[in-house]
A and B are shown apart, each in its own frame.
Chain A
Amino acid sequence: MTYILEAKELRKQYADKLALRGLNLQIAPGEVFCLLGQNGAGKSTTINLFLGFVQPTAGAAFVNGLEVATNPIKIKEYLAYIPEQVMLYPHLTGLENLALFSSLAGYKYPQWELVQYLTDAGLPAEAVQRRVGTYSKGMRQKVGIAIAVAKHAKVLLLDEPTSGLDPKASNEFSELLRRLSGQGTAVLMATHDIFRAKEVGTRVGIMREGELVDVRPTATLNAQELEQLYLTFMN
């Protein structure tokens, strides 16, 4: 089977902390893999290693078969990243931010299409031409999603994407992930939200102290069982 994301014995040692201890992970196209774990468990480090923002101490991360460390630019053509707080240029409008980031990704869209991406991501049409500085966190998140979608990314890397979003926005976000997953986009999502993970994930992995201690298909668990499993590992 071809994996779009793969980690082989991925290890990251910071000056005083071993953040990741030989992570092995494979994610197939269309899969939504949710990483659960406490703060400092290694979820964000894993995402940063796939993005090439940090270099592994040992092992390797692969995106679409390319090693991240040796192809740091090429792999970003396949990736889209939505952090916990999507921060954009505040003096540019949502439309201008999308135009900038999609053109950096190599896509030049006419204005109507950019507007379409933004409204499809859930941004109100009246906000499209407003400066991002006036946006709420949820609205910025939606622009972030539009950037990811417009890039036609094969992989979405999400770091606590629903943190701080209201239930409606979170729900819309889950809906969007399902849609993208249905189109073959792989998703790696680091989250604390067990119920959201159960809702949108195809697999969940539980991380503790830099190790992936358990991986389960979400279909085999209900939300309570997942929570119980999570708490068992955390305790």
Chain B
Amino acid sequence: MHLFRILFFYEWRHFRAARGLVLLCCLLLATGLYGIYYGTTEIERQRQHLANLPELTRRNVDELKVKFPGPADAGDIGYYHSTFAMHHPDRWAALSLGLRDVNPSYVKLRLLGLQNQLYATDNTNPMKVLSGNFDLAFVLVYLLPLLIIALCFNLLSSEREEGILVVLLAQPVRPAVVVGAKLAFRLVVVLGLAGLLSVVGMLWAQVPLDGRVIMWLSLTVLYCLFWFGVSLVVTALQRPSAVNAVALLGVWLLLVVLVPSLLNLSVATARPVPQGIALTIKQREEIHGGWDRPKTETMNRFFALYPQWRDTATIRERFVWRWYYAFQHLGDLAVAPQAAAYAHGLQQRYDLVEQLNLLSPAINAQTSFNALAGTDLPTHLQFQRSATRFHDSLRAFYYPFLFGKVEFTHADYAREPTHSFTSQPELPTLYRGLVKLLLSVAAVYGLGAVLWRVRPIIPR
């Protein structure tokens, strides 16, 4: 232990002298801080948007009160009145944006058919989406391994190449202690940086101090340990520094770029998902067809589903709101299997990726961070289901007005249902991610231990 401490201390001296590495650490710190700034800014922007939505609804109501000063037909109100299903981000979302940049954080809803409203999103610059998020999770998952590689590619080889290793190993110190001290120092540097960034990120994002703090830190530590394990394996092969660097960058490229791309392709092939646009078109065709269909046929189909409104008068007029909303709803029901298949297909893809992400700890870590922050696909699907239920509640609120021929008064606006959904962490995914990461770490250190055993250090 005494020798370990000496070597550890001198590692600090060597590190301090290697200005490039110090600069690299500073650079990672700066990119990490930028990642935190980017993530918190993006989430704050979404929060601001969400905070403005009730005001937009209020203004819409005020306009409607002017447009319809007295009691009005609820059909008119349902048509012109828009409200919002809101997906509030969890505080953790600022550290791992996940899908929050591609999926809408709110859905503008009217009493019309739901499906086309559900998939209507704000315009997003595709180039921005392509470049992806630069949040803290991105820095930890994709950039931190590069720092580990920069710190470890010449763990022993530089001393061997410089001829220092023979002098070092001529001292009564176990090679394992030399390697251990070197690795431990680098681990402290990297974990210190990752821990510092995580703590700054948590404070900046004002996350609640719950078990997820431990989960986040555990994920970070395990992920770093994995990359240190990879470095240990490559070091055990005792190749020149240049070969080590190429090998480690190759592993990084494989696990961070190639495997995720191949996984994406194979999952898309294995789990085909119906196109969202096909669903929208079918729903629109169904709704537009409703204008030409005999009203009795439409209403009978509707009453079969909602027999409580069967006693309403037969429609003889050319246009009646309850008929209009009936065929809007029947349009949704016509594409319900496709909508379910779409959501199911997305979930299946996600599940398959989650099963296969053992192949790439980078994907596993990213998936786990997103699950922790509630910014993954299952959370978005939960929001969509919640928005669907909200739309159902809107219909349930308006139908008595429409079918009971009750006039809609100004006081009724206040009774209209509202919606709010806040992301929750996907804890089962997170736990599985942690276990898989632990397995990856165990596997890589097991391999490292075997290699070190069969290949003793050659000092020259």
- Residues in chain A within 8 A of chain B (CB atoms): 51, 53-55, 73-74, 76-77, 79-81, 83, 85-92, 96, 100-101, 103-106, 144, 147, 151, 157
Q: Are B170 and A74 in contact (CB under 8 A)?
A: no
CB-CB contacts below 8 Å: B392-414 with A: none
Q: Which residues of B contact A88 (CB under 8 A)?
A: 164, 167
CA distance A151 to B13 in the complex (A): 22
CB-CB under 8 A from B169, the residues of chain A are 51, 53
Q: Could you tell me the distance between the alpha carbons of A87 and B459 in the complex, rounded to whole angstroms?
A: 13
- Neighbouring A residues of B170 by C-beta, 8 Å: 51, 76, 79-81, 157
Q: CA of A90 to CA of B13 in the docked complex: distance in angstroms?
A: 11
Residues 151-208 (chain B) with a chain A CB within 8 angstroms: 162-164, 166-174
> Are the CB atoms of A96 and B164 closer together than 8 Å?
no
Nearest-neighbor residue (CB-CB) of A100 within chain B = B10
Please, how many angstroms separate the alpha-carbon atoms of A118 and B10 in the complex? 20
* A157 to B167 Cα, complex, angstroms: 11
B304 contacts the other chain (CB 8 A): no
In the complex, whether B313 has a CB less than 8 A from a CB of chain A is: no
Are B163 and A85 closer than 8 Å at their CB atoms? yes
Q: Does B17 contact A (CB under 8 A)?
A: yes
Known: A74-B172, A76-B171. A104 touches B3 (CB 8 A): yes
Interchain CB contact (< 8 A) of B166 among A83, A89, A90: A83
Complex Cα distance, B162 from A87, in Å, reads 7
Q: Are A101 and B171 in contact (CB under 8 A)?
A: yes
Closest 8 CB pairs of A and B: A87-B163, A91-B17, A81-B170, A76-B172, A104-B171, A77-B172, A87-B164, A103-B6
When the two chains form their complex, are residues A144 and B459 in contact, meaning their CB atoms are under 8 A apart?
A: no
Minimum C-beta distance from A186 to chain B (A): 16
For B163, give the chain A residue with the smallest CB separation: A87
Q: What residues of chain B lie closer than 8 Å to A101, measured between beta carbons?
A: 167-168, 171
The residues of B that contact A51 with a CB separation of less than 8 Å are: 169-170
CA distance A76 to B163 in the complex (A): 18
Interface size of B in residues (CB-CB distance below 8 Å):
24
CB proximity of B438 to chain A, nearest CB, Å: 33
If A76-B172, A104-B3 touch, whether A144 touches B13 (CB-CB below 8 Å) is: no
Binary per-residue interface labels of chain B (1-34) against chain A in the complex, 1 for a CB within 8 Å, 0 otherwise: 0010011001001100110000000000000000
B163-A83 in contact (CB<8A): yes
Q: List 14 A-B contacts (CB under 8 A).
A: A51-B169, A53-B458, A53-B460, A73-B172, A73-B173, A76-B170, A76-B173, A86-B167, A87-B163, A89-B14, A91-B13, A91-B17, A100-B10, A144-B167
CB contacts (< 8 Å) of B172 on chain A: these are 73-74, 76-77, 104-106
List 15 other contacts, CB 8 Å, given A91-B17, A104-B173.
A53-B459, A55-B456, A76-B171, A76-B173, A80-B170, A83-B167, A87-B163, A89-B10, A90-B162, A104-B3, A104-B168, A104-B171, A104-B172, A105-B172, A144-B167
The closest CB in chain B to the CB of A106 belongs to B172
Q: Which residues of B contact A91 (CB under 8 A)?
A: 13-14, 17-18
A54 to B162, CA, bound (A): 19
Q: Shortest CB–CB separation between residue B142 and chain A, in angstroms?
A: 31
What B residues does A106 contact at CB under 8 A? 172
A91 to B11, CA, bound (A): 12
Most chain A beta-carbon contacts within 10 A, residue among B3, B172, B173, B456: B172
| Cross-chain contact B167 with A147 (CB below 8 angstroms) | yes
CB–CB A104/B460 < 8 A: no
A63 shortest CB reach to chain B, Å: 11
| CA gap between A88 and B14 in the complex, in Å | 12
Report the separation of the CA atoms of residues A80 and B171 in the bound assembly, to the nearest whole angstrom: 8
Question: How far is A55 from B170 in the complex, measured between Cα atoms in Å?
Answer: 15
Docked CA distance A103–B174 (Å): 14
Asked if A89 and B171 sit within 8 Å, CB to CB, the answer is no
B414 to chain A, nearest CB (A): 74
**Bound complex: CA of A86 vs CA of B458, how far in Å?**
17
Q: Which residues of A contact B459 (CB under 8 A)?
A: 53
Are B6 and A100 in touch, CB under 8 angstroms? yes
**Whole-angstrom distance between the Cβ of B166 and the nearest chain A Cβ:** 6
A87 to B169, CA, bound (A): 13
Cα distance A83–B164 in the bound complex, in angstroms: 10
Measured CB to CB, the nearest residue on chain A to B457 is: A53
A85 to B168, CA, bound (A): 14
Chain A contacts of B17 at CB under 8 A?
Answer: 91-92
- The interface residues of chain A lying within 8 Å CB-to-CB of B174 are 73
- Nearest A residue (CB) for B5: A103
Could you tell me the distance in whole angstroms from the C-beta of B159 to the nearest C-beta in chain A?
9
Q: In the complex, which of the residues B169, B171, B172 has the most CB atoms of chain A within 10 Å of its own CB atom?
A: B171
A residues less than 8 Å from B164 (CB atoms): 87-89
Among A89, A91, A144, A147: residue with most chain B CB under 10 A:
A89
Q: Which of B426-460 contact A (CB under 8 A)?
A: 456, 458-460
B residues in contact with A157, CB < 8 Å? 170
Pair B167/A92 contact, Cβ less than 8 Å = no
Least distance between B356 CB and chain A CB atoms (Å): 42
Which among B7, B13, B163, B166 is the interface contact of A53 at CB below 8 angstroms?
B166
A5 to chain B, nearest CB (A): 15
Closest to A85 in B: B163
Q: Which residue of B lies closest to A77 (CB)?
A: B172
Question: How long is the Cα–Cα vector from A106 to B171 in the complex, in angstroms?
Answer: 9
Min Cβ gap B55→A in Å is: 62
